[in-house]
A and B are shown apart, each in its own frame.
Chain A
Amino acid sequence: MFYKLTPTTGQPLYLQLMQQVRHAAETGALRDGDQLPGIRTLAEELVVSPNTVAKAYGELEHEGLLELRQGLGAFVCVKRRTRSLANDVNLARRRIRDLIEQLREDGLLDAEIRRAFEAELLYAAEAVRKR
């Protein structure tokens, strides 16, 4: 697996890592029982603080997507619910594609659509966080 963390997106690195592991599990790039690199190994590879990796792994374990076995490492556990998420993601992409098509027909430029999306996502993320 390859992970790519971007420090300047306004999102904590541990959340980015969580999302990428989740995404990998949803798309099937990571399968049930797969082993993730150790905290130290992944931290050195990504050149981020080990606390970032530890926090992401801890939260993913809390979500039930990872199982941390003492001294052995982190293992993926993909339940049926997670697999159905792959379908949800596909469905969402189709809906987004339709929406973008519509917005283009309304005369919006791609850059404008992108900014509107980003503004709404940031706004939503902030609202959720405050709740």
Chain B
Amino acid sequence: MTNEAVILTQGLTKSYGNREAVRALNLSVGRNRITAFLGRNGAGKSTTIKVLLGMVRATAGGGTVLGKQITDKKANLDMRRRVAYVAEDKPLYGYMTVEQTISFARSFYSDWRTNVERQLLRDYELPTRQKIKQLSKGMRTKLALLLAFARRPELLILDEPSDGLDPVGIENLLQTLVAQSADGVTVFFSSHQIAEVERVADHVCILEKGCLAVDAPLDELRQSYRRIDLVFSFPAPEREFRISGVERIRTSGHQMSVLASRNAEALVERAHRLNAVSVEVAPVGLREIFLETVKEN
């Protein structure tokens, strides 16, 4: 695994009028990894992706995708040949049938894999002769995914790929992501499905109000985030626990609950030194990390 960045931005900013959708974003996405891009609705995920792909012009700052400047029109065209993208709203031509849509897309790409197309068509049970406008939301999503997965890109960018899919569909999608990754494709995807992200992602970025609030390998988050629940025989000494790495402290009488993004060991030592009656250390799941991160602001 190399650590070369396939996506790299410096101070990337996008404003709509007075509103900054993306604020001075420094994003770095490593090659040969599965990176999840999380955030609340309106946090700026889709805008970031559109700016990266050159579909929306940045207000300030810049960056590269696969080494190509995102603001350079010619470089952008070359980059788009090597990137497969599934948009949030899964835009497709409503008057075409599934079959027509596939052969239309096939004609654009030299990296198209007909065997994968046929396989996915079977797996997804898509009605080939039906018109797009008659498809359910889940079927539209599946078709949009097929159009991206049938290619052999260097980088796969997916904006809410599990939108409208049932649990079986989501499981299939994740398996395909894993298979793509095994083929050497770098995957960058936004999602609200935290439980699923927690299984497949190597790296997690959490966007909050246009800024990166969390940017870390998932294993690192797993190992360093801890919730420490303490009970004292006297009113909980909250001030003693305000050290670096402590994200949040809640106190109720003699009880205290500390959420730490690191330094859990030092906190436990401190608790023992202050003669805590009870010290409990528990791991913190990605869902909780996410909720705490977006709640803070």
- B-side binding surface: helix, strand, loop or mixed? helix
Q: How far does the Cβ of A82 sit from chain B's closest Cβ, in whole Å?
A: 26
Please determine whether B223 and A49 come into contact, CB atoms closer than 8 angstroms: no
Chain A contacts of B280 at CB under 8 A?
Answer: 115, 119
Q: Does A80 contact B (CB under 8 A)?
A: no
Task: Verify A44–B279 contact, CB threshold 8 A.
Answer: no
Mask: chain B, 251-280; 1 = CB below 8 Å from A; 0 = not: 000000000000011001000000000011
CB-contacts of A79-131 with B (<8 A): 115, 118-119, 122-123, 126-127, 129-130
A12: Cβ under 8 A from any B Cβ: yes
Most chain A CB atoms below 10 A, which of B225, B279, B281: B281
Q: Which of A1-59 contact B (CB under 8 A)?
A: 5, 7-14, 39-40, 43-44, 47-52, 54
Establish whether residues B268 and A49, one from each chain, have CB atoms under 8 Å apart when the complex forms.
Answer: no
A7 close to B268 (CB less than 8 A): no
Given contacts A47-B174, A51-B1, contact A7 B286 (CB under 8 A): yes
**In angstroms, how far is the closest chain A Cβ from the Cβ of B201?**
7
A43 touches B222 (CB 8 A): no
Are A7 and B199 in touch, CB under 8 angstroms? yes
- Of A10, A39, A126, most buried by chain B (CB within 10 Å of CB) is A10
**Which residues in chain B, 18-41, are within 8 Å of chain A measured between CB atoms?**
32-34
Shortest C-beta distance, A47 to chain B (Å), equals 5
Contacts of B178 in A (CB 8 A): 43-44, 47-50
How far apart are A10's CB and chain B's nearest CB, in angstroms? 2
Q: How many residues of A contact B (CB 8 A)?
A: 29
Cα distance A41–B264 in the bound complex, in angstroms? 36
Given A8-B283, A126-B264, A130-B265, do A49 and B219 touch, yes or no (CB 8 Å)? no
Contact of A51 among B32, B171, B284, B285 (CB under 8 A): B32
Question: Does any Cβ of A come within 8 Å of B247's Cβ?
Answer: no
Contact partners of A9 in chain B: CB under 8 A: 222, 283
In the complex, the answer to whether B265 meets A49 with C-beta atoms within 8 Å is: no
With A44-B175, A49-B33 as known contacts, state yes or no: A10 contacts B223, CB within 8 Å: yes
CB of B225 to closest CB in A, whole Å: 8
Are A7 and B219 in contact (CB-based, < 8 A)? Answer: no
Q: A7-B199, A8-B198 are in contact. Are A129 and B1 (CB under 8 A)?
A: no
* Chain B residues closer than 8 Å to A129, beta-carbon distance: 223
A10-B223, A49-B178 known; 19 new pairs, CB 8 Å cut-off, are: A7-B195, A7-B198, A7-B286, A8-B283, A9-B283, A11-B223, A12-B223, A13-B199, A13-B219, A43-B182, A44-B178, A47-B171, A47-B175, A48-B200, A49-B33, A51-B32, A54-B1, A126-B265, A129-B223
Q: Which B residues form the contact surface with A (CB < 8 A)?
A: 1, 32-34, 171, 174-175, 178-179, 181-182, 195, 198-202, 219, 222-223, 225-226, 264-265, 268, 279-286
* 22 residue pairs A–B, Cβ–Cβ below 8 Å: A8-B283, A8-B285, A8-B286, A9-B222, A9-B283, A10-B284, A11-B223, A12-B223, A13-B199, A43-B182, A44-B179, A47-B171, A49-B34, A49-B181, A49-B202, A50-B182, A51-B32, A52-B202, A54-B1, A122-B226, A123-B281, A126-B265
Q: What 10 A-B pairs come out closest when comparing CB atoms?
A: A10-B283, A12-B219, A40-B182, A7-B198, A8-B285, A50-B182, A126-B265, A122-B281, A49-B202, A49-B34
